[in-house]
A and B are shown apart, each in its own frame.
Chain A
Amino acid sequence: MADTEALIDELAGLALFADLPRPELAAVAHTLEEEWHADGQRILREGLSGTGFYIVLEGEVAVRIGGEERARLHRGAFFGEAAILLGEPPGADVVAMGRARVVNLAGPAFHEFLMRHPSVMYRMLQEQTRRLRSANRWNR
């Protein structure tokens, strides 16, 4: 399917999937759902259940905790994984700033997805360590 080929090409350009050979990328592309979000639409809601794993493909999203903006995320950035990993509601609102396109995986499918693609999990591990270091610096 032409659409899936385009998505595979897009995913191939992301750091998260840098280690995947094309057949594995194709499998990933088939598992993920593409979604468009309108300006101001809340993709994740702080404190409410309903978890999912998201990767930004196009546009910009804002991460807000308690109404306060903490970060802007762009192409290649992922979010939503902490809530799934910890079995808790999302810790932040994530809102589309302008039209934004993401790919999404429902919470219950995330664990199997990670187990099936350990190199993706490893890339996430590196990114999480980066985030922990910044959070540490901020707190000092």
Chain B
Amino acid sequence: MTLTSDEKADALGRIALFEGLERSSLLPLAEAASEIDFDDGDVLVIQGQIGTGLFIVVNGAVRIVRHGEDVAQLSPGDYLGELAVIDREPRSASAFAVGPTTCLALASWDLFRRVDADPALSHALLRGLALRVRSLSDHHHH
């Protein structure tokens, strides 16, 4: 299946990290994002490897495995590697396709290129992160 730029922008816009981003910021990201098809059992990422970007499940399913244990299954709309797209830290879990699966992938270097060109994008990301840090801190406090 081939997604249009608009459909890709929609998918990216649903990620918490990109919440509140203007369409004008999302579309260039969408253009840089690639659609990748996986067969059943194919590896998306391996725990411990340096993360290079994020994946959004468009079709199919993805199994998340941490220290050999299944910890989650992702469905269309779910995503992984959201923080890796900024900081390229080692992956905290492995991910495998379950059945034929299509994902939208955005590489960290493509995000950085847009961040350089678009201060509004940078600002929106900063704000989104601050929101998440704060809600996690509050959560912990209770």
A66 CB-CB contact with B under 8 Å = yes
Asked whether, in the complex, the Cβ of A121 is within 8 Å of the Cβ of B133, the reply is: no
Partner of B137, one of A85, A126, A128, A135: A135
Residues of A within 8 A of B (CB): 65-66, 68, 70, 81-82, 85-86, 91, 111, 114-115, 118, 121-122, 124-126, 128-133, 135-136, 138-139
Contacts of A135 on B, CB cut-off 8 Å? 132-133, 136-137, 140
Which residue of A has the minimal Cβ distance to B117?
A118
Residues of B within 8 A of A (CB): 83, 86-87, 89, 115-116, 119, 122-123, 125-127, 129-134, 136-141
Known: A85-B127, A125-B125. A131 touches B139 (CB 8 A): no
Question: Would you call the interface of chain A mostly helix, strand, loop, or mixed?
Answer: helix
> Which of A65, A91, A125 has the most C-beta atoms of chain B within 10 angstroms of its own C-beta?
A125
Asked whether, in the complex, the Cβ of A91 is within 8 Å of the Cβ of B137, the reply is: yes
Contacts of A115 on B, CB cut-off 8 Å? 119, 123
Known: A126-B87, A128-B133, A133-B87. A121 touches B123 (CB 8 A): yes
* New A-B contacts (20) at CB < 8 Å, excluding given A114-B122, A114-B123, A124-B126: A82-B130, A85-B126, A85-B127, A86-B127, A91-B134, A91-B138, A115-B119, A118-B116, A121-B122, A126-B86, A128-B129, A128-B133, A129-B129, A131-B129, A132-B132, A133-B83, A136-B136, A138-B136, A139-B136, A139-B140
Contacts of B115 on A, CB cut-off 8 Å? 122, 125
Contacts across chains A and B counted by CB atoms under 8 Å: 77
Q: How far is the CA of A133 from the CA of B141 in the complex (A)?
A: 17
Contacts of B134 on A, CB cut-off 8 Å? 82, 86, 91
